[in-house]
Amino acid sequence: MKRIPDEKCASVCGLFCGACPSFPEECHGCLSDYVREGCRECKNGFRKCASNHTVARCCERIEFPCQKLEKFSKYPVINGICNHANVISDLKRMKDIGILSWLKEQVDEFTCPECGELISWFDRNSHVCSKQK
Ligand code: SF4
Ligand code: SF4
110 lines ligand 2 (CB under 6 A): no
Asked if residue 2 is part of any domain, the answer here is no
Asked if residue 1 is part of any domain, the answer here is no
The pTM of the full predicted model, rounded to 2 decimals, is: 0.94
- What pLDDT score does 41 carry? 92
Residue 1 pLDDT greater than 70, yes or no:
no
Tell how far the Cα of 96 is from the centroid of ligand 1, in angstroms.
23
- Mean of the pLDDT values across residues 102-118? 95
- Mean of the pLDDT values across residues 24-43? 95
Asked if residue 122 is part of any domain, the answer here is yes
By most ligand atoms within 8 Å of CB, the mutation choice from 7, 8, 11 for ligand 2 is: 11
Supply the range of the domain harboring residue 52.
7-132
Task: Phi first, then psi: give them for residue 97, nearest 5 degrees.
Answer: -110, -5
Asked if residue 115 is part of any domain, the answer here is yes
DSSP 8-state assignment for residue 3: P
Asked if residue 36 is part of any domain, the answer here is yes
Residue 63 pLDDT greater than 90, yes or no:
yes
Q: Give residue-wise pLDDT tens across range 79-107.
A: 889 999 999 999 999 999 999 999 999 99
Q: How many domains does the chain have?
A: 1
Nearest to 21 by CA among 78, 93, 91, 88: 78
